[in-house]
Structure 1
């Protein structure tokens, strides 16, 4: 389906008239990407997209579609400071008369295909924001999946799903007035029939692509659980054959991408948390014998492999130097592999010992830090620390000194992060040497005793053990963060049930109270929750008056994920 229109031009390019494509025709025009980097609040910014794209061969770049972080539509439309601090599409103009020059976000030569995502509940504000972003992206996406409390307060994201009329109006307004397509990302509802009606409403409003997250709004934190691929497959079969659909959920490793596509029949598969832990998740392992395979990729004696954390961190830092700071990265020695000269390790240890002095003396030696304005105005700098904690999650559980350095590092302080990188490289070298020295025994799991059968693990909704075993790598290799499944979290007392969930569990147990299969810990959690609710109710009543007097604008000041 194509409608003639004047498309908003990319910055620096002349306006050209060409058809506005819709649905599958549009999807094919951007290369029919199979892999999709999810919109993540303050976490799918330009530098991270570039890092993720760097693991895809140049000839296959169109196979990866990326989304921006979720932007607040009204703030993006009304506030120059907000827009410039989150979306750097054109270079700051030195001459007001000169035409704008493409810079980072949506740059046609390096950051496409790209969808810009907004949260909104006002069609006019959404349209205003979308028109400002349209010249620098391929489509505008409406966030209908954010399940966090801030979305509930601001009445957007997944908390619009009860207002299907408003959802239709938001999407239809963009469909009728934008020069580029509109898409939407939703979560499944309580029943597959309700979800189907929801999807049909989104498509009828004019969405060219629909992304379905196979979890309900309530599935977050300890209650995240597994996404339901079955309902996505069912939707695929019920919706018109030409519908372009992306599936989201349960992607831990590269191999899961094809599993999702096969199970759901979706056109593409989206990854969020899996990508944060391993930005190379969309790329194939490097060619055997290549320098990348030798220096950046680690493979164990069991054949399992993954990119080294020091290698990924280096790539990320180089991107920040080159694009965010606008300078060439520092010269670097090749990453260490067994057989290399180890003299640098001794030199590093001596230098580290000399630095072991009072903090005040060390501070005098520090180089200049970026001005606070520069640090806070650059979205690529503000995302550094959370990205590093995701990348190094398993690493810092062993090396707490690096964790402490990360906790103190300031946004945009590239010198501090280079220091952290050097320590990571040194510790990775030790880890690899120890692995080689012990023949892998320092990491291998203990085998079952003679005569005992090894437990057969199955990946289901009951236990995360099989997923952990499949994904686990040494601490110097990027790997996913696997949450306990809800039943496991309940057994550990890490989560308690809401009144609604208690009633459901009681019904499922044939009228029995919520203990039994849920375990004693769950029963205790229920009792604790009831006491907590009584105490909180009293406290809330005392504070309610003062709270009501405040003007709550958190939905305008914060962005939730």
Structure 2
């Protein structure tokens, strides 16, 4: 591998394409850009599960940043990207733009901690994008343009996936950076309606000067309950029809570690990116330890299935927050519990460390120091609660008192989060003890299956292949079974597929789409000599996601996932 500088240049010349990719170590795994969720602390947590050699093969992205705001607003820069140590005092909103010369490295893009790193921006103006990109260029290996965000805010702001109809603007945005930025430019897109249109889109991005193209195998409308499956065949089509030297990253359908190699093999991509799979399990890129080598952080059950323990991941995360966000040593901690250890600490003082005393909440917070919300402008601190809710989704669905304690916790209230960690450690210890005592029977509870239509439900329930997605693309049942672990293990959140969401009432067809499907079904029935009942059945079983409305916004039950956390 050719030696490179920290910003992807070789001997003073900016590298491009595969030469650039090789200069940063040809990373095989990629931590996706996620809105407010791929910040420094989470990147460090993800990297912490990897050996030094494995870390060289991991590329990480920052959260998506707004180019115009980043260029124009000092407060926005300070609260979203901490590349250098902050000054003792901040002059205020009218402070001048920071120097373009690197200063003392701090967190984001620190060569000793956080490389390789791409900084992602959303933008619709080439000059604003260039201005913002120049500010971060000294602290990253490349600047990425977000062309995949499907959320409503992207529609209103005219960026992300809502630029895909304006291919000229996309070309100008990328080309402006390619010609004027000292580091390479990359881009992340979504697939279009046809493979041919997607290929033309990718060619435009590459012709503009993108060194790497990331392709999310879902269309713009595939979000929330309509997320469905990413189409890896589109990515394989791009691989086979773009020049061989093109560097392609694949994104979509990566829930567990085993999916990484499956995606690479199916798509032919150079690297695979994980977003929500990483939020549920930041150890997703790490090789699981061999049987008998689990240690205290990894759990493996009687059936041989395992994963990283939630209390272990939570601990690692808190230690990173202490060391990096607050620049102090974390509290001294007891070894993580494994069955056979002394159990006396579980009943110390007759209560869990996270349980609160009687009395007014305000006075309690003042007494225990929890009322001091520390450094609340840091993106690493602001992101803590959303991360913990996602990470512990399966645990808090059972232990609702932990969920409630986390919901009541204020941003920056580190003492309270430490108490919640203590609650989690105690519950996990109790779960492990009960699992061993019952020979694994303690976790064998009936698993509710996604609600699907008629024959599909029977077919899903009867399948013996837990790979599932290949053989039953309309059901998530097999994937749920494949991914299921005890609640104390980090594991993915499996979304219901669109047809299931339609069946269980999470989404509904718009009047326009209902009418359209009724007319199409009636016409088809008339042509084939079918009855009106056949036409109705055909309409109800349609897998189209066009014109579907999400009904959960007006319902009391929570949605399957917090879809807004992941962008593009």
TM range (shorter): 0.7 to 0.9
Matched residue SS, 1:147 = coil
Structure 1 residues without counterparts, runs of 5 or longer? 448-452, 533-557
- Counterpart CA distance in 2 for 1:32 and 1:527 is 41
1:330 positional shift? 0.5
Return the alpha-carbon distance in structure 2 between the equivalents of residues 55 and 441 of structure 1. 30
Q: Deviations over 1:387-413 (max 9, x none)?
A: 000110000000000000111112221
1:516 corresponds to = 537
Structure 1 distance, partners of 2:519, 2:211, is 41
Task: State how 1:69-468 maps to structure 2 within 5 Å.
Answer: 69-93=63-87, 100-290=103-293, 293-347=294-348, 349-350=350-351, 355-360=356-361, 362-367=364-369, 369-370=371-372, 374-375=375-376, 377-444=377-444, 455-457=463-465, 458-459=468-469, 460-468=472-480
Distance apart, 1:16 and its partner CA: 9.6
Distance, in Å, in 1 between the alignment partners of 2:566 and 2:433 is: 44
Map Cα deviations across residues 483-524 of structure 1 (whole Å, 9 max, x no partner): 10001111111111246755775577474698524649999x
Structure 1 Cα separation of the partners of residues 165 and 355 of structure 2: 62
1:38 aligns with 2:59: no
Is the deviation greater in 401-410 or in 513-522? 513-522
Q: Distance in 2 between matches of 1:501 and 1:308?
A: 45
Tell me how far 1:370 sits from its aligned partner.
4.0
2:494 counterpart of 1:493: no
- 1:539 aligned residue: none
SS at match of 1:329: coil
Summarize deviations over 1:1-52 as a string: whole Å, max 9, x none: x9xxx98979xxxx99512100000000000001000000000000000000
Structure 2 residue runs without a partner (length 5+): 90-97, 448-460, 525-531, 554-564
Structure 2 residue matching 1:201: 3-state secondary structure: helix
Q: What secondary structure does 2:14 align onto? A: strand
User: C-alpha offsets along residues 360-415 of structure 1, whole Å, 9 cap, x if unaligned?
Assistant: 4533422154457x21x200000000000011000000000000011111222111
Calculate the TM-score normalised by the size of structure 1: 0.86
SS in 2 for 1:483: coil
Q: 1:131 to 1:503 in 2, by over 3 A?
A: farther
Count matched residues: 517
SS at match of 1:496: strand
Tell me by how many angstroms 1:443 deviates. 1.8
Contact 1:491 1:518 in 2 (8 A): no
Change (3 A) 1:22 1:454: same
Distance 1:528 1:135 in 2: 44
Q: TM-score, normalised by structure 2?
A: 0.85
User: 1: distance between equivalents of 2:378 and 2:71?
Assistant: 19
Structure whose residues are more often helix by fraction: 1
Residues 496, 522 of structure 1: 8 Å contact kept: no
Partner of 1:303: helix, strand, or coil?
coil
Aligned in 2, Cα 1:251/1:501: closer, same or farther, shift over 3 Å?
farther
Bigger Cα displacement from structure 2, 15-24 vs 314-323: 15-24
Is this contact kept in 2: 1:261–1:267, CA < 8 A? yes
CA 1:316–1:515 in 2, change beyond 3 Å: closer, same or farther?
farther
Instruction: Measure, in 1, the Cα distance between the counterparts of 2:22 and 2:7.
Output: 20
Q: Deviations over 1:294-332 (max 9, x none)?
A: 211110110000001000000000000000011101000
Partners of 2:548 and 2:352 in 1: how far apart? Answer: 56
How far apart in 2 are the matches of 1:257 and 1:509?
Answer: 40
Counterparts in 2 of 1:334 and 1:420: CA distance versus 1, 3 Å: same
* DSSP 3-state at the match of 1:186: strand
Change beyond 3 A, Cα 1:275–1:331 = same
Change in CA separation of 1:169 and 1:502 when aligned onto 2, cut-off 3 Å: farther
Post-superposition shift, 1:353? Answer: 9.8
| Secondary structure of residue in 2 paired with 1:210 | strand
| Residues 51 and 316 in structure 1, CA contact (< 8 A), matched pair in contact too | yes
